[in-house]
Structure 1
């Protein structure tokens, strides 16, 4: 039984199914080269695979290699010998996969069966087949392993619950294809009713802030940003994620830049078919970002000051914001702009971050020059630099950031042409507001291939 899904997807999975035994055999040889020794490394899992017709639980008693213990080749050899002696397999092949948490050890009983197709029944009409394959972590070209089916079942149930199908059930059914040596898995999935939103609960913030946040979820701003939550509306994980981000933004507008909002529970009531949603709010201290000496629009400040994204008043982030402000004003023609930052603690336990801005007077890029270049002429190199000479009604383009990027671009041009030892040094001269920018090129010798 195959449900309806994309013909391309079907053909792809069918090809994988047909090629699985050959590819798996080659991969097994690659995974366990005889020259590699795993002796003493921690074993994170031990599985028996390849034979859906056998009682794996009984065979587990024959495994001498324990999990969460050092790998022992002697115990591995003993386990293989015991499995062969049981008469349940013609041969046993060992697969060892190094992972970040330890070694995954798999005893593959021969003749082995491999995973074929995953069929998700009517659930493919609600979710895309490829999405369900991702959630189930489809074991491409792997020998059949009952534990993998259980993991896929658990992952699918969690996904359905998170998507609002809290009463969903799954019953896996195996279909063996002996000629092809594959096992197709049919997941009988009954999604049942999709839940609706119940009560929206906010915890952790002050009563005043809690009311403000709750009201914001019913505002026009929330509607425009698809963050509107209302009791009785269809349950949506995407909307919950959007609402979490939106609430965090609302905290930021209240100067709680280090504030956090987390979705901590969705308690489902099968009698009402509604899920009560609880958000955990951590206000944190107030962090006010202020400027003096020059005006910068709020939207621009949020782009330039990384504290807004990182939600922390870290000194390094404060200084990065100052550098970004310098580049911003330099880009507007204030080439001598200086920005000094300072952090002040407030009596209310909050923090004020001040950016003192001295724009200086406007200047103009009078010249952009290149020296030492022989391989490329000036026009060729000029097309790769981001600083630009001023025109009649333009001050040109300049900032320290643009100069650094221009140097990198020029070096890449030469390296792509085979000059691996090229170096480019910028020199900026400010003569009464008129900038002369020179790039000194030392090409070096072109590589010979």
Structure 2
């Protein structure tokens, strides 16, 4: 007979009153004690055990010989013994001065097998069940295992899977446990209907939610698996989408799914009420904190009167004010936005109330769900730790940082009461996702034929949050190898330190086999959430092997002169210090729709090495949604660069070179000044320039007539660039002529397709030069692909 704590609880009061000790099996034994006195035994005797050692039973008792005990101790001892899963029955009684513990052991599982499973392999199912080989046979655990297997199948769209169990006795009191599985058919999502939406079309809203319709690639992405919890999360995604676009009254009326049993497909219907679109009205700050003047906080406001209302901008303002107030010595301060709607003018006036807040401290930060990422990688994204003042704003910031790492498919942070009224426990629930990427890129050029690049990247190496990348690439006459490593928290500080080791062999642009190798050491740190500063030291050495001419290439005179000096000096060394200041407000790093990405870099070469120059480059991109309805995104990019000598004249290879990475339709080093050899009557090596400018206008939209869930986008673009100002000396020209040294603009137009495939992003484009010089090198086609792992 099985006995649990419920029975003990029910009779414990009566038993104590009667001077009786209750056994685990519900058997009463006269103990000869009263309420006023506690029982004492001299020894503990274990009966009924054959496989489980008696010391294991005694170790789970709270009753010890020579020590007094009560019914509470008996109750707790029974609970402990049952919780081991080793016993099907437990009885505790007192015989004289001996405590007798009688147990009935559970059978031992000899083997766990799965039958009928094809879509989920044995190794996956073993990971979700608790029953184990040589573990105890327990009915409750097995029923939980059946449900866990069903849940695992529901997660891959097979919610009608049937799971039964079969037990086969074997010798030695053991059993074989078999889970018999009928996987059933895979359920799909045939339609996602939106009802009540006027401002945004169904296609745009379908992009927002994580639940997707079934398509030909759904068996890889699994995004068409219906899950009620996922649908609730989609409701929140829709709210944030509308709240950030002015629809402060938006609400989800209902969301549900209906299963057509004949086709085994779900129809998902989401009914919404958009409400009116608002803009910000008056924006003000009120502070009740002594010493904090409201006027001093106005520069922190991200919300501007007349701008479209955005909940995200309100949150950004709260973060900025909270940071400033905390630096003034008020870590518990709370910033509460108070909105005042004007329904007639459709405005929302916002007042930010700054209050000292309630004193509370972080008792513990509990990390859950991370199967790969180390705990400390998650903890270091928090600006608070155990014992610090609790600040909800800092918690929200940590959540944003964790999401920005792109290590997790979901991040959820909740709070629980601590051990004291002023203590809070932070619970961080995450779910790891693949962070590795395998990339392939390439193209075709007239100069180097087919080119290809293969790289492997891991953004969360060994779960430590470290970045590592290895790549190899080249064409008929070039090879390039690179290994990169980055530690994002160097010496425990928010400093990203790393290195790049590179080696390049090139015979495509000079008449010689040019070998360059070197290392780049770098370190960087955030200045604000959007502004980042990095510094680096680069050393490289270039040598030329045996003056071996490529039959297709004639070296230019400046290159010959540079090679002669390099060989005479035993190689050409460059030592350079640089810094980069970058600014990023993109809403999505993979597919930005709004925001700015900008950077400026300055590099000083000298330090006693061969080259002496100051090189400055800058680039800025602006993204803007042209049509929410069509999900049409506009992009404008501008860039510029300049190099000046700080010592002797610039060497030929110290100049700037521009090509396909800046203006599509042209080859690497494809535009700019170029040397002409009158003897060979042909243009030879690119000479480079001291100044360049470039610009790009691009528009992208989902591929027409195809489901957006496929991830295919079509883009059209126009690129323009110019490179000029070469400073090669007359002596180095060696009788060759320098052409194209004026500010002549090149331009190209083209189209491309990007595919957010289940394997990773893939890009392909075709560009046609519409303004070029006769000596420019053309490369009209390019592609690139990568896959995650």
Return the TM-score normalized by structure 2: 0.26
Return the TM-score normalized by structure 1: 0.42
Which protein is richer in strand relative to its size?
2
Higher relative contact order (CA 8 A, sep 6+): 1
| Rg (Cα) greater in structure | 2
